[in-house]
Amino acid sequence: MQQGSDITLEDLKNMSWMQILKKVGEGMLEVVVIIAEVAVVILVTIAAALIELVDILAAVLAILASVTFATAS
């Protein structure tokens, strides 16, 4: 994760993103995350997919928190 990013809240509002989960077998998922037209494809177990999604959400929330904190200062 990048720290000290120059990304602004306005950048985040304008950024398009999508996630797609597709079951590909017994207990396996294909996770596709598309952020700003860049796609990342991960083939994982269901448990690992949930962990990966939580990690992605945590990273986005950390960016939002730092942007909010910087704006408030």
Of all helices (H) and strands (E), which one includes residue 42?
A: strand 38-45
The whole-model pTM stands at 0.38
Is the separation of the CB atoms in 67 and 9 below 8 Å? yes
Binning pLDDT at 50, 70 and 90, where does residue 1 land?
Answer: very low
Q: Which tokens go with 42?
A: 């991960």
Report d(CA 57, CA 46) in Å as an integer. 17
Q: What is the pLDDT of residue 2?
A: 44
Residues 31-49: tens digit of each pLDDT: 777 776 777 777 767 777 6
Report d(CA 35, CA 26) in Å as an integer. 28
Residue 72 has pLDDT above 60, yes or no: no
CA-closest candidate to residue 42, choices 33, 51, 50: 33
